[in-house]
A and B are shown apart, each in its own frame.
Chain A
Amino acid sequence: MFPGIPMLNYDVVVIGGGPAGMAAAVRAKELGLNVLLLDENDYLGGILPQCIHPGFGLHYFREELTGPEFAARLAKRLVELGVEYRTAARVMEIRNYSDLEKVVIFTSPSGAYQAWAKAVIYAAGARERHAFEIGIVGDRVAGIYTAGEAQTLMDIYGVMPGREVVIVGSGDVGLIMARRFALEGAKVKAVIELMPYPGGLARNVMILRDFEIPLYLSHKVVEVRGRGRVERVKVVKVDENLNEIPGSEFWIEADTLIISAGLVPSVKKLTAIGVEIDPSTGGPVVNDRLETSVPGVFVAGNALLINDLVDYVAEQGELAAEGAKEFIENGGIGSRKWIGVEKGENVRLLAPHRLSGERDVYLYLRVARPMEDVELRIPEAGKRVKLSLATPAEMLRVKLKAEEIRDAEKLTVEVVRE
């Protein structure tokens, strides 16, 4: 109880108004729950409104959309159903008093509130890794942005961050930003990739060819120099153990450095209430309803693990909402037993971590290194899926039927040569 702060009451509070949160709120409302959706931004959609490129929605809406179009569809459904939502609402804290008593304290332009709920769905997405996290040293100058910051500036506010650009990271995000800069008339001097292979999908690697952008594989940016603004960046070659090769360094002149070095699930507000984190995904340990180790707290989207398809993010939102419904109705998620899912050969990360065996489930996983002509195997479930190609850039999703896993004590997921 927080005397003096207005109290609101809901069945479920959804934190985050991106695709995971919106899909969760829509599904929860469809299931008859009283929902509040909170987002700290001024508009709904999370990062989708700034992802103006296509490739969204092939699974979820069965047609190819741009990010803003995908977001608009979910937002329209949200409004049609009359889901209560608040933008510019910043969550200060989640408190977990008991299984069915939680409170989300948030501030908004109209003041602070305490929203009481039986369940919480946490869909706050991820943050980007920044220059200091990848060991870049040098002058503290203007002109260093994460890819998402540059994308917000360009594709929401119509501001050009720079003219001569070096991009760190050749994942899909880095490549898509390379295209945006090139289209808008900037000179993309180089894309620098630490690994010996490009991180993005083939269709995005094509961007480099389209705009004649040099790609440096097995290289890293180590230093930035400039007076007030970026003037040049130092690049060095790395060996197969990713160690810098002495004498291989060179400078590239540029006024802008874009960091696209991966995402990290945002989980601070969850760890504050004791949610157990899986070090390999960076997100919470969850069961097959996407419930965390704190009963009644569910997670979906990039706060759970970093997805590459928004379709899976929205799917996870719906699943979390179904979990919340079950939790509220039964006073908890019960299961006769939990089947642990273990990472076998060449599997870098996976979720969910514990299965009830009572329901069909999607396993999401990523491999540790690129491999061709492999088989995804789950021996205890007698599951074998042939894959012509498995790369860390692409999340694999495999469906397991309840009857395949019901009798297993544990499951091991491995990706091995045929």
Chain B
Amino acid sequence: MTKTYRFTCIVCPLGCSIEVRVEDGKVIGVTGHTCPRGQEWAVEEATNPKRVIMSVVRVKDGALPTVSVKTAEPVPKELIPELMKFLAELKLEAPVEIGEVVAEWNGIKIVATRGA
């Protein structure tokens, strides 16, 4: 069972069209990249896609009703809906400092990007 993934690379503005062929979870070929960084990115994207997630979390007694947050590291794509549910239920209390770790989820730190 061979799957072919087609990506427009986002590592740099060149935007190479990269194809990654995967057989039984193993990468058997990468074509179209013009640099090793692009190759690495495309392989990762085909086998283990991850995203840094940004959202907002409710905060009590702050200047604004929410603080914005980001994950300190990229999160596996399939876990994102679960993470978002966790963030939706989270309630913080002011003061929150920018850069403060406000929570942890599955070992992933949630960092405030806005103070309150």
Contacts and interface: CB of A to CB of B under 8 A. Distances in A.
A388 B34 CA distance: 13
Interface in A370-418: 388-389, 394
Nearest to A45: B114
A183 B113 contact: no
Contacts of B14: 388-389
Contacts of A69: 98, 113-114
Contacts of B15: 202, 389
B53 interface: yes
A344 interface: no
Nearest to B7: A206
B37 interface: no
Contacts of B68: 49, 52, 66, 68, 155
Contacts of A203: 10
A217 interface: no
A63 interface: no
Contacts of A264: none
B54 A54 contact: yes
Interface residues of A, number: 27
A214 interface: no
Contacts of B108: none
A352 B65 CA distance: 40
B84 interface: yes
Contacts of A202: 8-10, 13, 15
Nearest to A184: B84
B13 A72 contact: no
B79 interface: no
Nearest to A159: B65
Contacts of B115: 72
Contacts of B84: 183-185
Contacts of A53: 54
A81 interface: no
B114 A157 contact: no
B66 interface: yes
A52 B113 contact: yes
Contacts of A68: 68, 98, 113-114
A183 B84 CA distance: 7
Nearest to A207: B51
Interface in A52-88: 52-54, 66, 68-69, 72
A154 interface: yes
B77 interface: yes
Contact of A155 (B51, B63, B66, B70): B66
Interface string A178-220: 0000011100000000000000011101100010000000000
Nearest to B98: A72
A391 to B, nearest CB: 10
B89 to A, nearest CB: 13
A52 B13 contact: no
A66 B113 CA distance: 7
5 contacts: A54-B52, A69-B113, A69-B114, A185-B84, A394-B13
Q: Which A-B residue pairs are the 9 nearest by beta carbons?
A: A203-B10, A68-B114, A52-B68, A158-B66, A66-B113, A52-B54, A202-B8, A202-B15, A68-B113
Given A43-B64, A158-B65, 9 more contacts: A66-B54, A154-B56, A155-B68, A157-B64, A184-B84, A205-B8, A210-B51, A388-B13, A394-B13
